DNA sequence: TTGTCATATGAAAATATGTTCATATATTTG
DNA sequence: CAAATATATGAACATATTTTCATATGACAA
């Protein structure tokens, strides 16, 4: 029941989201089904290239999906469940 | 509702636990109420000093409590709620 | 005391993450 | 086709995290 490999995998996913900007992206996408990069950029304080790096990496790590439509790329959560981590961590912060 | 500062704080806590060894520690302490460093070390594949660094840092970041009793230091979860993140992330992995 | 056990600490090295900047690519429009 | 828009990429750098090693500290037992 205590499997380091399993925990490493969990850690891999957690690391991929352990960043303020990335959590914001997840929070945005929790509601909106999908958003393109510009829309995300407008809502966040994040420079184009940096945001792109974050999105690309989160996608590579299986957090986000991406779909191109013309000039735009629409990102969405690959697994909505991930938003529960946000609730979870926030309830932890409160109960401190 | 989308507050970067709040997300940064959440990220700070997430970072403090986004590591296989640290998640193992949390998982161990989820059951056992408290364990001393040697007990944790036996159950984990982790060298003394490295484990100590992890524990000290998790403590500094408000994840763990520590109580000394004689030669031993007993660590426990400051907030049991944190274990829900483990369940949470694991259910995310499955549903992939 | 001295030795031993349990744990912590600090510095250095190794590695990973985050950020910036300049530039590339894909798509659409004129 | 050329220009404009949306987004990605790569290299360089800055910063943070992880790991190792040597050593320190605290507590107890002989």
- Any CB–CB contact under 8 A between A65 and chain B? no
Strands A64-69 and B35-36, by their bridges, are unpaired
Percent of chain B whose pLDDT exceeds 90: 85
- Any CB–CB contact under 8 A between B47 and chain A? no
Structure tokens at A16: 């991929």
Tell me the pLDDT tens digit for each residue of B61-74.
999 999 999 999 99
Sorted by where each starts, the structural domains of chain A and their CATH numbers stand as 14-92 (1.10.10.10)
Structure tokens at A62: 């299986």
A6 interaction partners in chain B (CB closer than 8 Å): 90
B10 interaction partners in chain A (CB closer than 8 Å): 20, 23, 86, 89-90, 93
- Any CB–CB contact under 8 A between B86 and chain A? yes
> Alpha-carbon torsion B89, B87, B81, B53, what sign?
negative
Q: Measure the CA–CA gap between A54 and B55, rounded to whole angstroms.
A: 29
Average pLDDT over residues B87-92: 91
Q: What would the 3-class secondary structure string for B56-91 be?
A: HHHHHCCCEEEEEECCEEEEEECCHHHHHHHHHHHH
Q: How far is the CA of B87 from the C1' of C24 (A)?
A: 42
DSSP string, A18-81: -SHHHHHHHHHHHHHS-EEHHHHHHHTT--HHHHHHHHHHHHHTTSEEEEEETTEEEEEES-GG
Tell me the pLDDT tens digit for each residue of A9-66.
999 999 999 999 999 999 999 989 999 999 999 999 899 999 999 999 999 999 999 9
The predicted model scores a pTM of 0.94
pLDDT at A4: 86
pLDDT at B9: 96
pLDDT at B96: 61
Banded pLDDT at A93 (limits 50, 70, 90) = confident
């Amino acid at each position: 029941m205590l499997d380091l490999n399993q925990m490493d995998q969990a850690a891999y996913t957690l690391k991929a989201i352990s960043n303020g900007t990335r959590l914001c992206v997840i929070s945005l996408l929790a509601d909106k089904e999908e958003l393109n990069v510009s829309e995300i950029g407008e809502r966040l304080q994040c420079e184009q290239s940096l945001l792109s790096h974050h999105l690309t990496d989160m996608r590579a790590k299986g957090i986000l999906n991406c779909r191109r439509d013309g000039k735009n790329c629409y990102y969405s959560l690959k697994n909505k469940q991930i938003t529960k981590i946000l609730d979870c961590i926030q309830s932890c912060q409160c109960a401190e």
